[in-house]
Each structure stands twice: as C-alpha cells, then as structure tokens.
Amino acid sequence: MTQSYLERVPVPNGLATPEQQASPGEWLGLYPALSEFLVACKWSDGTPRLPGTVTLFSDGPVWKLCLSDRHQSRVAFVSGSSPQGAFQAADEGLQRSSLDWRPQRQGKPRK
C-alpha cells in the first residue's frame, strides 16, 4: 500500500500492541481504504496502531456498516442498498475523510 487513507487523531497513552497484519486479499483492489482501515497495524510514521473493525447488518431494506476505530475509540456508520454498496460507502468515506466519527460509547454492564 503506497497511499495512506488513515487520518490520525491525538490519543492518550496506554495503547495496546497491534496484532500481526491480516491479508486483505482481493478487497485491496476493491476497497483500498477500507482494507487499510481493517488491517494496518502501523501508522505511516511506523508507530503501532490497532486495526479497525466492521460490523455489517441489515435494517429493513438497508444494509449498514458500523466502522469501529479501536485505536481512537470512535465509530462511524454508513449504509447502502446492498452489502457492496455499504462497503463502497465506507471506502469512499475513508478516502475522502468524510465519515461522521463519534466517540465510542462504553458499554453498560447488563443486569
């Protein structure tokens, strides 16, 4: 990967060591920014980074993705009329730095 689509936001100390990088396979060509978001274990300056996660779900006729930036404790949601449309929306949002990132809420213990 030559071009980086990652946008770094200052975070507090106490970061975990990233896991070994996974292979994005054919997704690298289809969704380069989303692939980088999911597998990159280092920032462009070489410092450690926790890879992001994606959760795909449907809400009626709409497919939605929740992108979780574990390194920076924030989430963003995108949608599409198909799973591919949702993945494309996520990739384009990452490339354009246009996702509406929100602080990740800490889960409440269940009773």
Q: How many folded domains does the chain comprise?
A: 1
How does pLDDT run across 17-67, given as a tens digit for each residue?
444 667 788 888 899 999 999 998 888 898 888 899 999 999 999 999 999
Beta bridge mates, 74: 69, 103
- What does DSSP assign to residue 95? H
Residue range(s) defining the domain that contains residue 81: 27-103
pLDDT of 11 > 80? The answer is no
Q: CATH code at 78?
A: 3.30.160
Q: Would you say the pTM of this structure is higher than 0.95?
A: no
Tell me if 93 is assigned to some domain. Answer: yes
Is 108 among the domain residues?
no
d(CA 96, CA 21) in angstroms, rounded, equals 24
Is residue 13 domain-resident?
A: no
Is 111 part of a structural domain of the chain? Answer: no
Region 93-104: what's the mean pLDDT?
96
> Which residues are CB-neighbours of 21 under 8 A, at least 6 positions away?
39, 40, 41, 51
